[in-house]
Structure 1
């Protein structure tokens, strides 16, 4: 979805940049304005591609989560559980003191793939907790 949005943004801003010179608004647009318009389109397209970067990597030691720009690593013993609340858009890690950390890489729109990912994380979490007893 991010790639589609990025392409649409680039096309729209390219069309606006081309049509900018020929508009009869009374304002005078120069080549630099057209270049700036394309630059804005490129920046917005790049920003929309950031939403394609979320990632979750887990192993026996813990889970590494990268949401859009920020990444964190949690040890399994710091995580109380992995949940996917009804109506939620994405899964989350349940943390101590009623806190949670969203897992943007595991989204409801992925359906069965999201279910399998949550089950796999729960297995790893259970194994880590069982190993501590």
Structure 2
């Protein structure tokens, strides 16, 4: 883990009151979509050689189709990456890219605006960081996740009790 996501050499989200959150529906749909996409491209690659299309497909074309399907499936799996780790020291948010660690001092609040698809961390100067791991489609799980994150934030702001 990079020094950018660590604080004092401790991995975020490993304390006694640590919370780890991942989306549920998006995770399932991403894996299903990736598997179906790859299977579709494999089937197309097999059928290309045997169908009468007027074009001659070779083994290299078939391999290319499977590789293209694998690349697209990998892109779909990016939607399975979101995760949040939080503890009494701060929060680490990983959307589809690299994780970003924020100490609780820079987080002004955790919001889930009406009509929003996912939660966000409110930061200074009207900036915010989207939290794709907490999604509206997860319903009660999203509510429980927001409550847990807000509790950790409130505990860190008010001081340990």
Confirm whether residue 69 of structure 1 aligns to residue 97 of structure 2: yes
Structure 1 distance, partners of 2:140, 2:80, is 19
Confirm whether residue 130 of structure 1 aligns to residue 158 of structure 2: yes
Worse overlay, 34-43 or 19-28: 19-28
- Equivalence map 1:35-74=2 (5 Å): 35-74=63-102
Higher RCO (C-alpha under 8 Å, 6+ residues apart) = 2
**SS state at 1:97 partner:** helix
Partner of 2:135: 107
Structure 2 distance, partners of 1:57, 1:11, is 33
Partner of 2:3: none
Partner of 1:30: 58
Q: Deviations over 1:106-130 (max 9, x none)?
A: 1111111110111111111111111
Q: Deviations over 1:56-113 (max 9, x none)?
A: 0101110001111221001111001001111111111001111110111111111111
Worse overlay, 9-18 or 19-28: 19-28
Worse overlay, 29-38 or 121-130: 121-130
Partner of 1:92: 120
Q: Which runs of 5+ in 1 are unaligned?
A: none
Partner of 1:19: 47
Root-mean-square deviation (CA), in Å? 1.4
Structure 2 distance, partners of 1:127, 1:49, is 35
Structure 2 distance, partners of 1:50, 1:59, is 25
TM-score, normalised relative to structure 1? 0.93
**SS state at 2:122 partner:** strand
**SS state at 2:79 partner:** helix
Q: 1:10 Cα shift?
A: 1.1
Q: Which runs of 5+ in 2 are unaligned?
A: 1-28
